[in-house]
Amino acid sequence: MSIWIQAVRPKTLVASIAPVLVGTAYVWNRGTIDWFYVPFTVVCAVLIQVASNFINELEDFNRGADKLRVGPQRAVSAGLIKPLSMKRASWGVILVAFVLGMPLVLKAGVVVLAIGVGCLLMSWLYTGGPYPLAYHGLGEVAAFVFFGVVAVGGTVYVHEQTIAWEQFYLAIPSGLMAANILAVNNIRDVYTDAASNKHTIAVRLGPHNAKFGYAISMIGAVFACPLLFSAGYGAWMYLPLIALPLAVMQVVLIFKRNGKELNAVLASTAAVYVELSFLIVLAFVAAGVSGR
């Protein structure tokens, strides 16, 4: 069982839960929330993330990308889980996500169904298919879109059935932080990825330039809500700036560390994501309570 828990990659699940909570706080502030659908949204987001992790591990194994790993061991490549078992588990998780997603489809219509199917398709296209995004330097872009724009916007759509620019702005912190979690992973694995013909951004630009991209994304994520939402929601939207010291610390560490040393930075980047998401949620709740 512990092998399967490792394959789930629990530390990565923040990338699926955090944007749903941010979108939920936003619709609560606007008075459009329907609490019945909140748990379905959270569970479906987590299941899609788990399916993505399973599929990515299987596809990386098929391409031989996990033979020389600096990061945590991958169960399929290590022979701890058979490829067929992982494939069956992936389909099982997808089936459960599809069933539990039906209430959301009944609530908000075919758009939500399209979002769910699109996310599951992207789970495969990320490392599989004829043009795997992760192997062509598009992994961080995919993370921004699907763990930011789609996750936050999709959550809001479930409750409001509308699409607006404000939803995109709200997705920026989540998207940038999700991309940064992946960026640390790719910077850590830059040399083994290059040897496996996995042309990530870190491989294409070099680890030093990729670290600059991480720094810009980290600081941008912290300042996004204060800059974009303070005019409409009041001074509470400056609460995310509390995460700035920890964010700056991660920027310092990313430039100082390499290889396996970045495993700790990967965990602390996820911690910043949790803190920042909590502060954004708190900001919308506080603004709502105060009447903004």
CB < 8 Å & 24+ apart, contacts of 269-274? 269/177, 269/180, 269/181, 269/184, 269/218, 270/11, 270/12, 270/14, 270/181, 271/246, 272/177, 272/218, 272/243, 272/246, 272/247, 273/14, 273/15, 273/18, 273/177, 273/178, 273/180, 273/181, 274/14, 274/18
pLDDT band at 70 (very low <50, low <70, confident <90, very high): low
Instruction: Indicate the pTM of the whole model.
Output: 0.93
H, E, C per residue of 146-202? HHHHHHHHHHHHHHHCCCCHHHHHHHHHHHHHHHHHHHHHHHHCHHHHHHCCCCCHH
Q: What is the CATH number of the domain that holds 202?
A: 1.10.600
Q: How many domains is the chain partitioned into structurally? A: 1
Burial of 232 (0-12, 13-18, 19+ CB in 10 A): exposed
pLDDT of residue 68: 60
The whole-angstrom separation of Cα 249 and Cα 269 is 10
Higher-pLDDT residue of 192 and 34 is 34
pLDDT band at 281 (very low <50, low <70, confident <90, very high): very high
pLDDT of residue 76: 87
The whole-angstrom separation of Cα 224 and Cα 8 is 30
pLDDT of residue 67: 61
Segments forming the whole domain that contains residue 160: 2-289
Mean local confidence (pLDDT), 41-45: 96
The whole-angstrom separation of Cα 178 and Cα 125 is 18
**pLDDT, tens only, 79-94:** 889 999 999 999 999 9
Share of the chain above pLDDT 90, in %: 76
Res. 66: pLDDT tops 70 = no
Helix (H, G, I), strand (E, B) or coil at 85: helix
